[in-house]
């Protein structure tokens, strides 16, 4: 399932973005690897908007028209979901 471009575009339009002080990042395996220098660069931005696809990802029109940078969090795959009771988080 690919995420539709309409809802994502409307969400991006509803945010007051400052030119040169905000970035729209798309999390993808082929993106630039997130590392400490990039973390410092992003910390100087006023707004950082993360788009996270699920299953098949995001419609290509979003990638082409709205995304400033594709970002990868590393060489591994996260899948599935395991919910733990809140009490187990505090141990």
Q: What digits encode the pLDDT tens for the residues 1-33?
A: 567 788 888 888 888 777 767 889 998 888 999
Over residues 30-54, the mean pLDDT reads: 90
Q: What is the pLDDT of residue 58?
A: 82
More confident position, 57 or 62: 62
Residue 41 is predicted with a pLDDT of 92
Three-class DSSP labels, the chain = CEECHHHHHHHHHCCCCCCCCEEEEEEEEEEEECCHHHHHHHHCCCEEEEEECCCCEECHHHHHHCCCEEEECCCCCCCCCCCCCHHHHCC
pLDDT (0 to 100) of residue 1: 58
Specify the pairing of strand 69-72 against strand 22-33.
Answer: parallel
């Amino acid at each position: 399932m690919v995420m539709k471009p309409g809802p994502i575009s409307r969400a991006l339009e509803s945010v007051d973005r400052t030119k040169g002080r905000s970035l729209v990042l798309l999390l993808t395996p082929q993106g630039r690897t997130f590392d400490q220098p990039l973390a410092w660069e992003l910390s100087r931005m006023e707004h950082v908007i993360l788009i996270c696809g699920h299953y098949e990802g995001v419609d290509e029109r979003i990638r082409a028209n709205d995304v400033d940078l594709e970002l990868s969090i590393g060489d591994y795959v996260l899948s599935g979901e395991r919910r733990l009771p809140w009490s187990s988080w505090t141990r």
